[in-house]
């Protein structure tokens, strides 16, 4: 093999292949009987060691007021701040001068889940949610309209709080 | 004659199917034991506890695309999996797997063919398996496959010598190569693992190498050679190599159980081997034989998920410089001891002789372990300094 490489003299118990082999065999056998760490995903979504963080930024959710209308006042801040340009908002106005969204669509494919829309929203209407299972059979189903956004029921993200950076 | 033909045909059918089902379940056992050793659960979705996983895998392999490399030697490429599959299926034929079964028409020995050449047949046929692997490596026209095939041929030929030599010890003690006679001899005294401990150790290590299992899986060596000799194979052709590998494992385990652990003999009782044969005895011995074989299969899997792979030169050094001289020396010592006990003292094989030889083996084993522990037979990446 390699030429001129110095070999350290070590005690037998450190260099014995026999002992190392037996030690390894004992170790693997002990692991055979230990409790397993696998979480059986579709049935089990969290365990005592692991749950989804409350700061998780996932599928959006639009909160509603007492009458069941979206809290959104169509101020236009969220499409303005959205870095991925995934929010489509067409504002409307009723007879009393209240603004509301005529069209409010979020493209979940374009969204990068930064959570800026939730941070910027003055009415606490649009939120990112603690939810990640949004698979569909067609691509166009990933554009969530206002109806679908208000119909979501998962908990909303708490986001990162600068006054409490460690979440305590 | 008719009776013989019918029972033989039935036995062939049952044994081949049992091996195939056993191999299928073994792949599942392998994956689950591996998972447990890594603190995972392993495949448990298809059927209860994942029992149907092998069926799903088999179905997948049937439905997968069959690829054929453009520059491959077509005829040999197709022949290779067959050449490796057939010997793997054939070898189990001479291993007795239970006590004889009485039927209304006569007693049926529970072995497909109790050949007088016994385990020589297994050595001969299992050596043919290497052709399949070398042909696969050659015919693929792929660097990695060729390297895998080369390694396989070198490895299997090297370790076959140690394997064959260690069975000479069994021959010395049993005086016969017929496996049913080997079992009968063990029932007379103690299991051969006691008077032939060292032969068993050598046989076990060589059998690991012969079946291309870790730590001797150099022909496959997925880290270095992608998949070795079966890199270019897909679909059912790949599956045949896989089945061949696992059925070789089953045969090797069954052979170890037969040669050194009394075959279908139930320990601590003579009930199974004396008196009239009965169905209960056949079933009980079948279960015992299965348990022994499974114990070895488990050890195979256990070793695989524990030890790292040898380097090629280490493999060759272990085979030629350690195992071969060791077996030759061992046979010499053992033959002398048997000659002394049998000819000079006139002993017959029994508990006493087995115990005496066991004592000798214990001494030899301790000496060997002491030497193995100090002399580093498997050198590190650097050659040992010249003294």
* Closest C-alpha among B234, B195, B161 to residue B337: B195
Which H/E stretch holds residue A126? strand A126-129
Q: Dihedral angle at the C-alpha atoms of B319, B323, B329, B335, nearest 10 degrees?
A: -110
pLDDT band at A17 (very low <50, low <70, confident <90, very high): confident
Block means of pLDDT (10 residues each) for chain B, length 387 residues? 84 88 90 90 86 88 85 86 88 84 79 83 86 87 86 86 88 84 81 85 89 81 78 86 89 90 80 75 87 92 88 83 88 88 77 80 85 64 45
Cβ partners under 8 Å of residue B255, min gap 6: B95, B119, B122, B207
How far is A22 from chain B, CA to nearest CA, in Å? 10
B residues 312..341 contacting A (CB < 8 A): 313
Q: Mutation target for B interface from A3, A27, A28: give the one with most B CBs within 10 A.
A: A28
Q: Which two tokens stand for residue B173?
A: 């003690």
Q: Mutation target for A interface from B35, B307, B314: give the one with most A CBs within 10 A.
A: B307
pLDDT tens digits for B231-267? Answer: 888 888 888 888 888 988 999 999 999 888 888 888 8
Closest residue, chain A, to B300 (C-alpha): A25
Of the candidates A5, A29, A40, the beta carbon closest to that of B302 is on A29
Query: How far is CA A27 from each of CA B163, B164, B369, rounded to the nearest angstrom?
Result: 29, 32, 21
How confident is the model over A84-112, as a mean pLDDT?
A: 90
Cβ partners under 8 Å of residue B164, min gap 6: B123
CA distance B212 to B220: 8
Q: Is A54 in the B-facing interface, judged by CB distances under 8 Å?
A: no
Q: Mutation target for B interface from A2, A4, A5, A18: give the one with most B CBs within 10 A.
A: A18
Pairing state between β A87-93 and A99-107: antiparallel
Q: Do A19 and B378 count as a contact with CB atoms less than 8 A apart?
A: no
ipTM above 0.85, yes or no: no
Q: Is A25 in the B-facing interface, judged by CB distances under 8 Å?
A: yes
User: Contacts of residue A2 in chain B, CB cutoff 8 Å?
Assistant: 381-382
Residue written as token pair 């140690």: B162
Buried b (16+ CB within 10 A) or exposed e, B179-199: bbbbbbbbbbbbbbbbbbbbb
Q: Do A25 and B305 count as a contact with CB atoms less than 8 A apart?
A: no
Q: Is A5 in the B-facing interface, judged by CB distances under 8 Å?
A: yes
User: Contacts of residue B32 in chain A, CB cutoff 8 Å?
Assistant: none
pLDDT for A79: 92
CB B128 within 8 A of CB B233: no
Of the candidates A5, A31, A35, the beta carbon closest to that of B37 is on A31
Number of H-type helices and E-type strands within chain A = 5, 5
Of the candidates A5, A7, A16, the beta carbon closest to that of B373 is on A16
pLDDT tens digits for B306-334? Answer: 888 888 888 888 888 888 888 999 999 88
CB A150 within 8 A of CB A62: yes
pLDDT for A167: 61
Question: Mapping DSSP to helix (H, G, I), strand (E, B) and coil, where does residue A135 land?
Answer: coil
Instruction: Map out the domains of chain A with their CATH numbers.
Output: 58-151 (3.30.70.3270)
How confident is the model over A31-45, as a mean pLDDT?
A: 86
pLDDT tens digits for B34-69? Answer: 999 998 888 888 888 888 888 898 888 888 888 888
More confident residue, B374 or A43: A43
CB B107 within 8 A of CB B277: yes
Handedness of CA B34, B35, B37, B41 (dihedral sign): negative
How far is A75 from chain B, CA to nearest CA, in Å? 50
CA distance B251 to B97: 11
Closest residue, chain A, to B383 (C-alpha): A1
CB B247 within 8 A of CB B285: no
Q: Mutation target for A interface from B303, B305, B306: give the one with most A CBs within 10 A.
A: B306
Q: Is B64 in the A-facing interface, judged by CB distances under 8 Å?
A: no
What percent of chain A lies above the pLDDT cut of 90? 17
**φ, ψ for residue A91 (rounded to 5)?**
-80, 150
B residues 224..243 contacting A (CB < 8 A): none
């Amino acid at each position: 093999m390699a030429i001129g490489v110095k070999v350290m003299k070590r005690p037998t118990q450190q260099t014995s292949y026999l002992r190392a082999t037996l030690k390894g065999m004992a170790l693997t056998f002990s692991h055979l009987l230990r409790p397993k760490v696998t979480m059986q995903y579709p049935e089990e979504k969290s365990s005592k060691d692991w749950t989804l963080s409350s700061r998780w930024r996932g599928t959006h959710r639009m909160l509603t007021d007492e009458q069941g209308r979206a809290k959104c006042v169509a101020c236009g801040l969220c499409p303005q701040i959205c870095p991925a340009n995934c929010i489509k908002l067409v504002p409307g106005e009723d007879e009393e001068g209240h603004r509301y969204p005529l069209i409010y669509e979020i493209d979940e494919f374009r969204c990068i889940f930064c959570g800026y829309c939730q941070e910027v929203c003055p009415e606490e209407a649009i939120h990112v949610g603690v939810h990640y299972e949004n698979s569909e059979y067609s691509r166009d189903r990933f554009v969530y309209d206002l109806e679908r956004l208000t119909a979501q029921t998962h908990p909303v993200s708490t986001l990162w709080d600068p006054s409490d950076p460690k979440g305590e | 004659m008719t009776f013989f033909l019918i029972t033989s045909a039935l036995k062939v059918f049952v044994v081949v199917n049992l091996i195939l089902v056993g191999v299928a379940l073994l792949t599942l056992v392998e994956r689950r034991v591996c998972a447990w050793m890594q603190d995972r659960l392993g495949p448990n979705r298809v059927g209860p506890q994942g029992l149907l996983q092998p069926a799903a895998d088999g179905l997948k392999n049937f439905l997968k695309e069959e690829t054929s490399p453009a520059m491959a030697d077509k005829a040999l490429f197709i022949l290779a999996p067959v050449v490796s599959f057939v010997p793997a299926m054939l070898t189990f034929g001479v291993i007795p797997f239970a006590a004889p079964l009485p039927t209304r028409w006569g007693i049926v020995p529970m072995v497909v063919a109790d050949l007088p050449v016994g385990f020589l047949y297994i050595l001969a046929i299992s050596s043919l398996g290497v052709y399949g692997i070398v042909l696969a490596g050659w015919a693929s026209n792929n660097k990695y496959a060729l390297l895998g095939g080369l390694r396989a041929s070198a490895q299997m030929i090297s370790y076959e010598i140690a394997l064959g030599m260690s069975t000479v010890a069994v021959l010395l003690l049993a005086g016969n190569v017929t496996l049913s006679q080997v079992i009968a001899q063990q029932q007379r005294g103690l299991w051969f693992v006691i008077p032939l401990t060292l032969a068993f150790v050598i046989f076990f290590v060589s059998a690991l190498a012969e079946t291309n299992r870790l730590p001797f899986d150099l022909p496959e060596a997925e880290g270095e050679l992608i998949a070795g000799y079966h890199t270019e194979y897909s679909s059912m052709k790949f599956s045949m190599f896989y089945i061949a590998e696992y059925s070789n494992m089953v045969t090797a385990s069954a052979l170890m159980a037969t040669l050194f652990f009394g075959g279908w003999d139930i320990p601590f009782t003579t009930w199974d081997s004396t008196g009239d044969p009965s169905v209960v005895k056949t079933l009980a011995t079948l279960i015992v034989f299965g348990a022994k074989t499974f114990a070895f299969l488990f050890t195979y899997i256990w070793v695989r998920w524990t030890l790292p792979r040898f380097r090629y030169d280490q493999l060759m050094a272990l085979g030629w410089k350690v195992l071969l001289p060791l077996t030759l020396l061992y046979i010499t010592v053992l033959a002398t001891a048997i000659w002394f006990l049998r000819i000079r003292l006139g002993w017959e094989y029994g508990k006493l002789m087995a115990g005496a030889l066991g004592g000798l083996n214990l001494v030899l084993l301790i000496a060997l372990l002491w030497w193995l522990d100090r002399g580093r037979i498997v050198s590190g990446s650097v050659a040992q300094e010249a003294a």
